[in-house]
Amino acid sequence: MQIFSNSQLERVRRALKKVRAKTTTAIAECMAEAGEHAVDHVKRYPKFRPRTGNLQDATQWRTIRTATGRVLRISNTAKYAGAIDQGARPHIIRPRRRKFLVFRVRGKLVFARKVNHPGNRPYKFLYKATNSAGRVLSQLLEQRMKRIADQF
């Protein structure tokens, strides 16, 4: 007993192929938009006092393919990003290339062989940006999938 004809099954297969293609495109576009949102979030809502903006500018996103799908990765290439994001314990700073550290305090030039850094609390700026991007991605995907479903 055959419920569907071959031509009906072929139409269903073609429709499914279109849905799969549109879904793949929608996921890639939504992930890109969420990644841009995460970078923008770091720039717009710094919880620490930015001095130069280099930390915010070093924030980037990329989509990584895995065996089970895709992952949106938010990262920062600045050397000190981890210390700002996760916090740092008190530590000693020593010069690496010269005999003295040189910096300004209240307009005066200061030379020191070592400095006791007091440490800092974690600001979790990457975590907050990733969390915000996840919410945006969820909303975007829900909207796009509804639009795709309404077409069929």
**Given pLDDT bands bounded at 50, 70 and 90, which one contains residue 2?**
low
Question: What residue segments make up the domains of the chain, in order of their start?
Answer: 6-87+122-150
Q: Are 93 and 114 in contact (CB under 8 A)?
A: yes
**28 is written with which tokens?**
């890639």
Q: Residue 47 pLDDT > 90, yes or no?
A: no
For residues 4-17, b (16+ Cβ closer than 10 Å) or e, as one string? Answer: eeeeeeeeeeeeee
CA distance 6 to 130: 47
Q: What are phi and psi of 39, to 5 degrees?
A: -65, -45
- How far apart, in Å, are the Cα atoms of 42 and each of 49, 56, 74, 77, 131? 12, 6, 10, 13, 11
Summarised one tens digit per residue, pLDDT across range 59-105 is 999 999 999 989 999 999 999 999 999 999 999 999 999 999 999 99
- Residue 151's pLDDT band (cuts 50, 70, 90): confident
User: What span, in angstroms and rounded, lies between the C-alpha atoms of 105 and 143?
Assistant: 53
Residue 120 has pLDDT above 90, yes or no: yes
